[in-house]
Structures are given as C-alpha cells and as structure tokens.
Structure 1
Amino acid sequence: MKRLVFQLLLACVPVVFMSCEKSDGERPFSLREQITVDGLERTFLLDLPSGYYDSSGFDLVIALHGTGGSGEQCKKDYGWSQKAAQAGFIVAYPDGVRSRGALGIRTWNAGGCCGYAEENRIDDVRFISTLIDDLVARYRVNPKRVYVTGMSNGAMLSYRLACEIPGKIAAIAPVSGTLITTAPCTPSRPVPVLHIHSALDTIVPYRGGIGIGGYYFPPADSALRVWAGVDGCAQAPETLTDNEKYTAVRWKDCREGTTVIRYLTKDGGHSWPGGPKSRPGADAPSTAINATNVIWDFFHHYTLP
C-alpha cells in the first residue's frame, strides 16, 4: 500500500459561486456551485426537494463518485436525486480534483489511495468538512442529519471522513470500497456504518488484494471489524439474510444505538447495485438489491447526538 504522511494545508476561506440548472420562477431546485478551499476551486452539484422553500430542517446526503467519475456522473448513475425527490431530502454531489493528465481523472485522497489527489495530498477531508459547514449555513439543512455515501474511491473517502470528522456525520454507507487510511482511525464517537460490496469485485476485491492501479486494498471485513470495535459492538455479527442473491450481516449491541451492517451480493461486480451500467466495459450492476433504497432506509434511523 502506498504510504504518504498527511500534512495540514493552509487555512481556507470559502468563496461561493452559484448557477441554477432548473427553477420554479425565482426559486432554484438544482444548482451548480463552487467554493474555494486551500486555494483550489472545488465544485459540486446540489439538488433541493420540491418542498424545500416551504419547510426547514432537511436531511443532507453527500454522494461521492469513484475514480474517474464526477458529481454529474454520480447524480446520473446512482439514483440519489430521484430518492431525494421522493423522500424529501437534500443531496450534494461534490467533484474530486482533476488530475493534470490528458484525461483529467478526478480522484479523492482517502489516505492510501487514490491517484492525483493522494499523490498531491489534496485535503479532501477539509473540503467536505467545509462543504458541510457551508451548506448548513446557507441552506435549510439539519446539521444533526448529514450522511455520506460513496462508490469505490468515494467509499474510501467516506470511511476517512467518519474517522476524522465524526462530529459532522450521522452515518456513512460505503459501496465497493474499503478503509485505507494511513493514520489510525480513532473517531471521537461511534459512527453507524452500512457497507455494500460484491463478492465478484476485482477492482477493489472484497477479500483484499491488488486491485485497480496496482494498489493493495485491505479486506472489507477488516474495515468492518475496525468499526465494530470503534462502535463497541458484539464481536461476532449475526446473519440477517443468506439467500442465492446476497448475504447481510449485522454487528449489534453497539454503543449509543449504532450498528454496523454488511451486504455482500453474489452477482454484479465493481458497480452500484440496482443502478445502470455506468459505461461500456464496466461491470454489470448487481440486481440483488437497490443500494440507494437500502442506504436511505439505513440513514434515516440515525441522528447526531
């Protein structure tokens, strides 16, 4: 595994830019925004539910794309905007920093992965922390009901965020990723975790090993054992479901009413279960579960103390 020493960067002052993609008269519901963090212009999409201007205290889901993806791709492929419209919450889709190569691939610095963001020590924890503060200040967000999910490299960053800023995140739901922080994970509070993976994933292998980019990825179950320990759960998980499509297990008796749950599908691959195939040549998504529905059902049970 690649190891880099984490360094604090200069303090940031958020500068906000906003443009509207669709609106109801003067009231926008879908926005493209940017803030400046550590001298970098960071961009994100934001979708507001239809009842936004008539109420307050909305839940916020932050959805993180994988390596080579974007906020726009995340919005298109993972179904969060449709779920937000149905359930009435706000969803944000941040963009990772582009590499300087010809393809301009976006990545996140999850600690021991990935690509340009890791190699250049981009402070994505500070970016997401600043983004949360900004959205809580400017939008009708309930600060006790902020959740983070992510695919692949985005899943890895969601783990790192739970390690480093647990006071701002009520729960996380990594999909097809693992815990790959370079520093020990010692959050100040127990954090509920829902992990989703395919047993057939070869990009970030569920059982660990060399995957995409030549990175070594620790087994997903090792990450879950870390969180079971952090959350003070019973050592052995109980089986919730075990059928021909997937298995689901839960670590219970955790501190402060938290829990750790793992869904392992027996089909699909490195893809978002229940979503579309993201591009030609990509792994077919699992049809065993709809990850977005499962994650939202998990999230809405949890609130920060």
Structure 2
Amino acid sequence: MKKLTKIKVLFILLFFIFIAFSCKEDSAISPKTEQRVEGSLLVDGIQRTYLLNLPPNYDEATDFALVIAMHGAGGKATQMESDYLLTEKANSSKFVIVYPERVQSSGILGVRTWNAGTCCDYAVEKQIDDVKYISLLIDELLKKYPKINPKKVYATGMSNGGMMSYRLACELSHKIAAIAPVACSMVTVKPCNPSRAVPILHIHSKLDEKVPYQGGIGIFGYYFPPVEAGIDTWLRNNQCPAQSKKINVFAQYTHIIWENCLANSTIEVYLTEDGGHSWAGGLHSRVSADVPSKAISANDLIWAFFQKYQLP
C-alpha cells in the first residue's frame, strides 16, 4: 500500500509539473489582449471621464496613432464603442483609441452633450469648455503613453460628436492632424481660423432626417446648416482649387473629393443612398435607431484617410 501511495504521489507531482510547463509555454505564444483604461481628468472643476484602449501590440511597438472618438448626443463612451465597432478596428489596425465623454446634464435623463457651437443642449447652455478638455486630454495621454506619436492625433465623431470634431479642427489644428465627422454639420459660432490646413473626411446619408444633409430643422428641434456650408468653409481655409473637385458616382454612394489643397491636404465627402442618422457599417443596436448604411464602412474609410496625414 505504501508503495502504491508513493507511486500515486509521484504521478500527481509529474502531472502538475507537466501542466505548469504547458501553461508557461501557452502563455508565451498566446497573443496579448488589448489594454483598457477608464480614466478621468479634472477640467474647470468638473471630473471628465474617458475610456482608452491600447492595441495588443502596444508593448512591443512604437509610433502609434491616437484616434479621438466622440459619441453623439445622449450617447456615451461604451455605447459608441459597442455600436460602431471602433475598438475592434483599432486592435486589428494597431492604433490607440480614446472615447472621451461629454458633461452630463443635471436633468432627469442626464443627457451628455458637446459644446460644438450652436449645439447641443446642456453643454451649450452652460458654456462647457470642451475644446479645453480635449486639448488637456491629448496632453495627458501623450505624457502617460509616450509611444503615441504627437504628430498622429486624429478626431472623429458621430452627430454632435462630429460637430465637435469640426470645432476642434478650427481651434486645435496644431494638435490634430485630420478629422472625420459623421452624420453632422458644422455649427461653430466663432470664426474658424486654423493655424494650418486640416484634411477632412465627411460621411453622411441622404436619408438622414435628424441632421439633414441639405440643412434644416432636425433632432431636438435644432436648425442645422447644410453640410456643404461647412465644407465651403474648409475649402477656403485649405485653399482648395475649384477645378480640383472630382465626383465619383456609384450605385449606393457618391464620393466627392477636392485634391491639391494647401499642404497636399484633401477634403472628401461620402454621401450614401441608404442608411440614415447612423454610423455606416456599424451595428443597428436599437429598434428606435436608424439603420446604418451598408454601402461603405466608416471605420475602414476613416482609418485609411487618417493614415495619409500627420502634423508637420
């Protein structure tokens, strides 16, 4: 019996040694997962929050781009992440992405909005300095994560978040290399005087009734200027030659591009025939939400566009 017991003990020890070495080997070859941070930043006495995602290869590489993704009115960081699949894109394409959150209203619904100019709601009424918040956030992330290239910082956003990206292009052109607003129009109230030409990619649906492409009364009863009015502002800012305009018409979308603008920048517009007030290629996560366009993938177009530009 004693001999049998010793054999059993020896067998058990060998088994656990085998398991330990197997686990060590597996962990060495298994891919690393993304690193996620829920952060906060005190700005003008208000605790501002954000969700940061580092790609799986962050520890092994350098020269990362940072994409600032701003959610729409009533949304939040986790909603934008889950609905638009941007973190999956960031992990597969190896860039850092941050989802800053807007100030929450004191009302019963606690709606979050950005102060993009004339829109929207609580942030405009209280004159929340969202430009200062994003500027300080960029500084904070560049300090904490030195592998991010300060010349490769970009901004995108949905609806009110897209409007905010236009304002950032006007006021933070020295920090943001390019922007890609989605389903919005430019609603800034201050003169737009960027220190440099800012490349712009705008994505919109012809069927969007909440922020109409042609302009008009939309969501929450706000008046939104025509998208082309904002584009015209940037054609002047970037000194784009009128003759450089190219229009490519496809079955489900139209692509308009102005090339040979100042500093080799471009301005591009994708106008889809399907979808609505939604993120093209994203998820239709709620019955009350508009169905996203299937004609294009906003994530693929935006990342390909950003990769072409960096700050001088």
TM-score by length of 1: 0.90
Q: 2:5 maps to what in 1? A: none
For residues 115 and 50 of structure 2, the distance between their equivalents in structure 1, rounded to whole angstroms, comes to 17
Q: Measure how far apart 1:234 and its partner are.
A: 1.3
Report if aligned partners of 2:34, 2:53 keep a CA contact under 8 Å in 1. no
Aligned counterpart for 1:116 among listed residues 119, 122, 132: 122
For residues 240 and 297 of structure 1, the distance between their equivalents in structure 2, rounded to whole angstroms, comes to 19
- 1:224 maps onto 2:224 in alignment: no
For residues 208 and 62 of structure 1, the distance between their equivalents in structure 2, rounded to whole angstroms, comes to 26
Q: 2:89 maps to what in 1? A: 83
CA RMSD of aligned residues (A): 1.5
Aligned counterpart for 1:96 among listed residues 98, 102, 106: 102
Count, aligned residues: 281
For residues 237 and 276 of structure 1, the distance between their equivalents in structure 2, rounded to whole angstroms, comes to 35
Q: Measure how far apart 1:240 and its partner are.
A: 4.6
Q: 1:253 maps to what in 2? A: 260
Q: Say if 1:236 and 1:210 are closer, same or farther in 2 by CA, change over 3 A.
A: farther
Q: Measure how far apart 1:54 and its partner are.
A: 1.6
Between the two proteins, what is the percent identity of the paired residues? 51
Q: Measure how far apart 1:176 and its partner are.
A: 0.4
For residues 61 and 241 of structure 1, the distance between their equivalents in structure 2, rounded to whole angstroms, comes to 28
Aligned counterpart for 2:212 among listed residues 205, 212, 215: 205
- 1:287 maps onto 2:294 in alignment: yes
Unaligned runs of 5+ in 2: 1-29
Q: 2:153 maps to what in 1? A: 146
Q: Measure how far apart 1:103 and its partner are.
A: 1.0
Moved more, 162-171 or 49-58: 49-58
Aligned counterpart for 2:138 among listed residues 116, 132, 143: 132
Deviation readout 1:166-219 (Å, 9 max, x if unpaired): 000000000001110111111110000000000110100000001111111000
Report if aligned partners of 1:237, 1:249 keep a CA contact under 8 Å in 2. no
Report if aligned partners of 1:194, 1:260 keep a CA contact under 8 Å in 2. yes
- 1:242 maps onto 2:245 in alignment: no
Question: Per residue, is there more helix in 1 or in 2?
Answer: 2
The 3-state SS of whatever aligns with 2:168 is: helix
Larger radius of gyration: 2
Q: 2:21 maps to what in 1? A: none
Report if aligned partners of 2:211, 2:277 keep a CA contact under 8 Å in 1. yes
For residues 81 and 43 of structure 1, the distance between their equivalents in structure 2, rounded to whole angstroms, comes to 17
The 3-state SS of whatever aligns with 1:72 is: helix
Unaligned runs of 5+ in 1: 1-23
Where has structure 1 moved over 4 Å in runs of 4 or more?
A: none
Deviation readout 1:147-175 (Å, 9 max, x if unpaired): 00000000000000000010000000000
Q: 1:13 maps to what in 2? A: none
TM-score by length of 2: 0.88
Aligned counterpart for 1:166 among listed residues 158, 166, 173: 173
For residues 172 and 87 of structure 2, the distance between their equivalents in structure 1, rounded to whole angstroms, comes to 25
Q: Measure how far apart 1:241 and its partner are.
A: 2.4
